[in-house]
Amino acid sequence: MPRRGAASGHTNAEIASVLHVARRTVETHLTATYRKLGIRRRVELSAVLNGR
């Protein structure tokens, strides 16, 4: 959900609320995801997840 939620335009706070975790936890997971995918911005995430 964090990656899809972020790619869908949801804020870190919104994602954290849905998952019942701290906002910082979402930030940590997204940072690790960006690093693994070799991207720097949230807007690049949806393109990578959609195979573009």
pLDDT tens across 13-52, in order? 999 999 999 999 999 999 999 999 999 988 898 888 887 6
Burial class (CB in 10 A: 0-12, 13-18, 19+), 6: buried
pLDDT at 20: 96
CATH number at residue 43: 1.10.10.10
Domain span holding position 12: 2-49
Q: Is the dihedral of CA 7, 31, 14, 17 positive or negative?
A: positive
Give 9-22 pLDDT, tens digit per residue: 899 999 999 999 99
> For the chain, what is the domain count?
1
Q: Looking at the predicted structure, is the pLDDT value of residue 1 above 60?
A: no
Going by the DSSP 8-state scheme, the letter that residue 41 receives in this structure is S
Question: Could you tell me the pTM of the whole model?
Answer: 0.79
pLDDT at 42: 86
